[in-house]
Amino acid sequence: MMEFPFALLVGLFFAAAVYLMLSKFLVRVLLGVVLLGNGVNLLIFTNGRILREVPPIIPDGHDVPTMLTANPLPQALILTAIVISFSFFAFLLVLVYRAYQDLGTDNGNEMRAAEPENDPLPPTGY
């Protein structure tokens, strides 16, 4: 029953991620997104069942594994997800840094460059 503590841990990751993402500061939101990605990776890992088998490596001179091996697919999925979330993290880091340089703030509430606060209404008459 190794799944139960892992499930709790996934829940903890999600809770921390949601808490961070509710912040108005972009750096914290970014960290929340990273935590969320890691929580999801752990979730996939747990969903692939946790078994005490040997790694799925075929020994020399054989074409098929000689004994029962662990499921390699969740690890392949997680590796893909890690690569993707890593590249997104790098991109968002650059983006947040640029936003801080250009807009002078990392507070989401003060970022009104695209949606100005006193946007005029459209004309009501012809």
Partner 1 sequence: MAASTADLSAAFLMTPVATADWLVVLPPAWCILAGAVLLMLRKSLHLQAWLAVPALAILVVLDGLLLSHVLANGPVTMVMGRWLPPFGIAFTADLTGVLFALAGAVVALAGAVYAIADIDGSGRRYGFYPFLLLLMAGVSGAFLTGDIFNLYVWFEVLLIASFGLITLGSEPRQIDGAIKYAFLNLIATTLFLATTGYLYGIFGTLNMADIALKAAAGRDSLPLMTLATLYLLAFGMKAAAFPVNFWLPASYHTPRIVVAALFAGLLTKVGIYALLRTLIMLFPVEREELSFVIALAGAATMIVGALGALGQSDVRRVLGYVVISGIGIMLAGLSLGSPGGVGGAIFYALHSMVVMTALYMAAGLMGRLAGSFDLNRLGGLYGRSALFSGLSLVLFFAASGLPPFSGFWPKVMVAKAALDIGAWWLVAAVFLTGFLVTIALGRVFALAYWRPAPEALPATAIPASLLLPLAALTALTVVFGLFPDALLSTIQAAAQGLSDPSAYIGSVFPGGT
Partner 2 sequence: MNTLIFRTVAPFLTALMVLFSLFVLLRGHNEPGGGFIGGLIAVSALAIFGIANGILAVRRALWFHPMAISAFGLFIACLAGLMSIFFAVPFMTGLWITPVILGVEIPLSSVMLFDTGVYLVVVGSITSIALALEAGDDA
Residues forming contacts to partner 1 in the complex (CB under 8 A) are: 21, 26, 29-30, 33, 36-37, 39-40, 43-44, 46-49, 63-64, 73-74, 77, 80-81, 84-85, 87-88, 91-92, 95-96, 98-99, 102-103, 108, 111-115, 119-123, 126
Residues 6+ apart with CB under 8 A from 95: none
Are 44 and 71 a contacting pair, CB within 8 Å? no
End-to-end, the C-alpha distance of the chain in Å comes to: 72
What whole-number distance in Å separates Cα of residue 50 and Cα of residue 10?
14
For residues 55 and 123, which CB has a smaller minimum distance to partner 1 in the complex? 123
33: part of which helix (H) or strand (E)?
helix 26-47
Residue 115 beta carbon to partner 2: minimum distance, rounded to whole angstroms: 26
Q: Are 13 and 29 in contact, with CB atoms under 8 Å apart? A: no
Q: Which residues in 51-110 contact partner 2 (CB under 8 A)?
A: 79, 83, 87, 90-91, 93-94, 97, 101
Least distance (Å) between residue 51 CB and partner 2: 20
What is the DSSP secondary structure assignment for residue 103, as one 8-state letter?
Answer: H
Q: Which is nearer to partner 1, 8 or 73 (CB)?
A: 73
Binding positions for partner 2, rule: CB under 8 A: 79, 83, 87, 90-91, 93-94, 97, 101
